[in-house]
Amino acid sequence: MYSIRLGHKLFDLSTPVVMGIVNATPDSFYPGSRYNSDRSVLNAVEKMLEDGASIIDVGGYSTRPDAEEITEDIEIKRLSVAIKAIRKHFPEAVISIDTFRAAVAREMIQEFEVEMINDIGGGTLDELMFETVAEFDTAYILMHTRGLPQNMQQQTEYTDVVADVFGFLQKNIARLRLLGVNDVIVDPGFGFAKTLEQNYTLLNKLSYFKQLGVPLLAGVSRKSMIYKLLGNEAKDALNGTTAVNMLALAGGASMLRVHDVKEASEAVKIYNACTKAV
């Protein structure tokens, strides 16, 4: 079973954990995850921690398809306001930063000692990212994508989506290991440069990625792979999200990144009861 060091804490991932999403942005794809004041951030974090979140993932740059590009300064300002409030009121919270920019990661690590960097670019969008997490010995989520949020959905041609994503993750795990980064989690990147069908192919073959030998994160919460299939909208996709989260757990996911922590925590509890039943 896996364990991962987050700051001064060692997390045992023999039981899957839940990561709660806090978007300090005005334009993330799911309006219910947008928190644009100290009070709204604190209310959200308080509820997530009460509902069973082990990690709070804070983002300042929307990475939905066709998202507006913002400067590093704006991203840093958004993140700083949110994290300063979280650190003050919930010092026990473990914080991950959702960014693909090395300068932003550096600022957040140095200023707030965040425990993890969640990089949707998997090192492809900033060549200094791997060196930065290695310098600070910070836990790192390596995600697969292609291109930028503004053009990634035009880059969905693969020879074999499972083999291609696996190869990308395997190659970059090796690069990170050579730099001395030991606490690595992989994310196949549901919804990033993938068609609806490709997302479900990856979900169906998720257990294949256990061969990488590192913990696996599934980030499917309320994404278009769910609501487009069901013919509804992100606001209506909680039930579908729970179904997909359960499939991800069955496929070997050690971490669920979600908007709705209570429901995900319940899914983990039910999954654990099932796997331990005799």
CA–CA gap between residue 278 and residue 74 (Å, rounded): 53
Beta bridge partners of 116: 96, 139
Options 78, 106, 146, 257, the catalytic residue: 257
CA–CA gap between residue 106 and residue 97 (Å, rounded): 11
Report yes or no: 213 and 199 within 8 Å, Cβ to Cβ.
no
Residue in the structure block whose two tokens are 């989506």 = 161
Active site residue 257: yes
Active site residue 146: no
Q: What b/e sequence results for 22-40 when a residue is b if at least 16 CB atoms lie within 10 Å of its CB, and e otherwise?
A: bbbbeebbbeebbbeeeee
Task: Determine how many CB atoms are found less than 10 A away from the CB of residue 71.
Answer: 10
Nearest to 121 by CA among 130, 110, 109, 113: 130
Nearest to 134 by CA among 168, 177, 103: 177
CA dihedral for 162, 195, 17, 179, sign (positive or negative): positive
Options 78, 106, 222, 223, the catalytic residue: 223
Does residue 252 sit in helix, strand or coil?
A: coil
Structure tokens at 207: 């257990």
Nearest to 119 by CA among 197, 178, 176: 176
The catalytic residue positions are 223, 257
